[in-house]
Amino acid sequence: MIRKNSHVKITNRSDTKSHDTITSEEANWMAMNWGRCPDCGQRLLGGPKDRNSQNVLCEDCSSEYNICSMTMGLTNRLGKASDDRKIFYGAAK
């Protein structure tokens, strides 16, 4: 069982609103907690994908990521998702 605040162990963090590549520490956390949001520890929803990558969304804190499978899971932030974008994940309220 993963506690909601398990993400606080990440000390080297990227800006949650940026479109930067996540830090190696965040990437390691994601590898150890597959399918979980490094910002809040909640489950990520799978969204649009193509051959090489997939977008994922945290329904809890709205952080959105792009995970590239061609680069061993290199993950970029897509910032905080708007309600319009959440439609792509079936998470619109």
The footprint of Zn ion (CB under 5 A) covers 37, 39-40, 42, 58, 60-61, 63
Nearest-approach distance from CB 58 to Zn ion, in angstroms: 3
3-class SS at 45?
A: strand
| Of residues 55 and 63, the one with the C-beta less far from Zn ion | 63
| Of residues 4 and 52, the one with the C-beta less far from Zn ion | 4
| Of residues 53 and 58, the one with the C-beta less far from Zn ion | 58
Q: What is d(CA 86, CA 14) in angstroms, rounded to the nearest whole number?
A: 22
What is the DSSP annotation of 71-85?
A: GTSEEEEEEEPPHHH
